[in-house]
Structure 1
Amino acid sequence: MDHPRNVGIGLDFSSNSKRGLTWATENLIRSGDHVFILIVQPKGSETGLPHLMSLWSETGSPLIPLFEFKEEKIQKDYGLTMDTADVIGVLDNLNLHHDVLINVKIYWGDPKEKLCEAVNKLELHSLVLGSRGQGTLKRALLGSVSNYAVNHAMCPVTVVK
């Protein structure tokens, strides 16, 4: 029997990151894996969150099990304002068809740094990201989260177009 793997999936709820999630569920994740959904909120978005959340602004939230993350109140408590229904549908389907453990971890700050931090702290064996599809000039000026992760993460990184 294969050993369980820790698979991280970066999610910003864009169509590209959702494609990355779908790709990972169809091509990478296998029974027994531990799946971490990694959400990085922009720095400053933790302002105004309940006092408890300010405790996690540097280290990220505690691990949030999928059944708990599905609760609208939990999402609101962590400052998530996007529609998560389709993502939760994909995760529920993954949970139904594979014996996997799914947790969500929310960070605040620079996605490049926080995703690489997650790789190290969660001891990820693999990281999957959706490509934002920026052009060469925009990527050169602003930097690319996926490019940074490919070059700095201490595990294999798959970038899904």
Structure 2
Amino acid sequence: MAGAGADGERRIGVAMDYSDSAKKALEWTVDNLLRHGDTLVVVHVLHHGGEEAKHTLWAKSGSPLIPLSEFREPEVMKNYGVKADAEVLDMIDTAARQKQLKVVAKLYWGDAREKLCDGVEELKIDSLVMGSRGLGPIQRILMGSVTNYVLSHAPCPVTVVKGK
């Protein structure tokens, strides 16, 4: 399983887009992977949109690391163009308390496939968990699967949690 960083702390990433499959991946991570004292890194990739000019500064590097205390503030997240999700926050809060986790979030803008892989490398994530949207084979061919790309290119173990 995931190795530990130089300081002995494991950094477990969860790809989060607030879909049902991403919530399942978070739930699975909390139940099966996170251990006492780990760092949970919530990695969120937003598509470029109307807010683009505001985030030009972070287009390459992504947002600064966002601690849980700010991540749970709807007003702070609104500034990043993210709507707070009570279910996700509740899961993270509970896990953070029970397992004494350090929790940080990182936002990227652009292509989810590339940005998730960049994030794994930049944030020194030991293991990444992501949900699978369950596209059919034709949709996957036409749209390209974020999951397939990340499985092939991420420099760490990747666990894919299926929705059902």
Taking structure 1 as the reference length, the TM-score comes to 0.92
Identity fraction in percent: 44
Distance in structure 1 (CA, Å) of the matches to 2:56 and 2:82: 14
1:74 positional shift: 0.6
Aligned to 1:90: 91
Shift of 1:48: 5.3
Which residue identity does 2:66 align to in structure 1?
I
Aligned to 1:77: 79
Alpha-carbon distance between aligned partners in 1 of 2:102 and 2:89, rounded to the nearest angstrom:
14
Unaligned stretches of 5+ residues in structure 1: none
Residue deviations 1:1-47, cap 9 Å, x none? x7321111000000000000000000001012111100100023532
* 1:133 counterpart residue number: 134
Q: Secondary structure at the match of 1:55?
A: helix
Q: Does 1:29 align with 2:34?
A: yes
Q: Structure 1: which 4+ aligned runs deviate by more than 4 Å?
A: none
Find the aligned partners of 1:59 and 1:46 in 2 and give their Cα distance: 16
Is 1:44 paired with 2:25? no
1:68 offset after TM fit, Å? 0.9
For 2:76, the aligned partner's letter is I
Contact 1:46 1:57 (8 Å CA) reproduced: no
Partner of 1:54: 56
Which blocks of at least 5 consecutive residues in structure 2 are unaligned?
none
Superposed CA deviations along residues 98-129 of structure 1, whole A, max 9, x for unmatched, are 02110000100000000000011011110000
Q: Offset at 1:97?
A: 0.4
TM-score normalised over the length of structure 2: 0.91
- Count of aligned residue pairs for this structure pair: 156
Aligned-CA RMSD value = 1.3
Amino acid at match of 1:75: M
Q: Which amino acid aligns with 1:135?
A: G
Which of residues 18, 22, 43 in structure 2 aligns to 1:17? 22
